[in-house]
Amino acid sequence: MGTAASQRVVLIIATLDTKSEEVIYLIQRIAENDLDTLILDNGILGEPIGIVPDVSASETALAGGSTLENTRKKASRGEAIEIMLKGATKIADRLFKEGRIHGAISMGGAEGGVMAAAAMQVLPPGFPKIIITPLASGVRPFGPFIGIRDIMVMHSLVDIAGINEISRTVFNNAAAAISGMVRSYRPMEVTSDNLVAITTLGTTDRALRFILPGLEKNGYIPVIFHSSGVGGQVMEDMIEKEFFCGVVDLCINELTDHLVGAYHDAGPHRLKAAGKMRIPQVVSTGCVDFFVQGARETIPEKWRERKMYYHNPKFTLIRTSESEMQVVGETAAHRLNQAKGPVTVILPLNGMSISGLEGGSTHDPEADRILFDTLRKGLRKDIHVIDAELHINEAPFADLVVNAFVALMSKEASASTLRQHSNKGDPDANRLQI
């Protein structure tokens, strides 16, 4: 477990009081690929067996704000895990920033896996990350493991409790995978000068066929996010990390799913980051006219009388009610009103999704009208609102979106130049004052 300066290093996060044998095996397999390892112990109750970690459980607990002795005395297992989770996260962040690690892997169950996953959240997109866990099955939620990062989750098939013919094969594959990723890893080189974040769902994909060429023609590189809950969360996070010069938020349907507690819930912070970061945003209301549930036989009784669109055998789109449309409109207006950068809102008056067009299974013009009226009344007077007598998937609507975005970017570039000339010597010269 040395760390020669020229050697690439894999961080192994594990509870060594229960996983020492398995970690030793993993170290040996990774070493066969000419990589070094750095071991972080986040075990709570016992001591490592046959292995000395680079970061002890005591050090992990201290980084989490306690001592290992006091952590072991906590009234609940959950409190102890929170301390070790916090400590592992701080240490992983420090190791990455110091350039001491080039990939991370963990093996663990409900506790070890979740602690390692939390630590991996601070590691950037593109940085190699793998979790081996028996909980990686199709009936388990993957959110606690993946979060908003590009973590590879490998099903261990059997419990991580000893080396046998089955676990050995899984661990060999995991070691080979992380080794290959680490050896080929190059930090992501991103410039925000021309990257544009765009949201979409399957029912607005047609709109992208027209929007993408328009943006590319103007020198922008579109980065598309699926507005399925986690997609919106990832986008908001990357906006705050300054990946993008602007946003085309075509689909804000995650607001609807958050309101009713549906599948595509992106949490309470959707539609906030672009305004906070002062970057231009063109916003539309794509797919706000429905929220997503599972197979039709699983739909709760309270929604079964609503208009629906059977998207596929696993997903059903349920029409948003008039009262829900009003709340979503109020929420969107409130968040956009907080924006410190330029905003244009474009309303597709003839439909926000495939199923919402005239004659479609979720068409409800009165509910749509309530949404549009709420936005018009609620938005700040300086926010430009465009009423488009078009469906969101029509080519002329895409032209409006592209033209509005290019206009905002041009205006912002002019304003930025003016500020630079007028604020020379001003320590706040780089702050946008829109």
- What CATH number should be reported for the domain holding residue 352? 3.40.50.12030
Q: Is the pLDDT of residue 127 over 50?
A: yes
Q: Is the pLDDT of residue 237 over 70?
A: yes
As a whole number of angstroms, the distance between CA 217 and CA 299 comes to 44
Q: What's the pLDDT band for 138 if we cut at 50, 70, 90?
A: low
Q: Mean per-residue pLDDT for 59-87?
A: 95
Residues with Cβ within 8 Å of residue 121, at least 6 apart in sequence: 89, 147, 148, 149
Identify whether residues 274 and 152 lie together within a single domain. no
Identify whether residues 102 and 231 lie together within a single domain. no
Range of the domain at 62: 9-184
Identify whether residues 52 and 128 lie together within a single domain. yes
Query: Which residues, in sequence order, are bridge partners of residue 315?
Result: 312
Give the long-range contacts of residues 82-86, CB within 8 A, separation 24 or more: 84/42, 84/44, 84/57, 84/60, 84/115, 85/42, 85/114, 85/115, 85/118, 85/119
Q: How many structural domains does the chain have?
A: 2
As a whole number of angstroms, the distance between CA 250 and CA 173 comes to 40
Cα–chain center distance at 31: 33
Q: How many CA atoms lie within 13 A of 220 on its CB side?
A: 25
Identify whether residues 369 and 227 lie together within a single domain. yes
As a whole number of angstroms, the distance between CA 260 and CA 248 comes to 24
Going by their DSSP bridges, the two strands 315-319 and 290-293 should be labelled as: antiparallel
Residues with Cβ within 8 Å of residue 426, at least 6 apart in sequence: none
Identify whether residues 262 and 164 lie together within a single domain. no
pLDDT of residue 431: 27
pLDDT of residue 312: 87
Q: Mean per-residue pLDDT for 85-110?
A: 96
Identify whether residues 176 and 293 lie together within a single domain. no
pLDDT of residue 170: 97
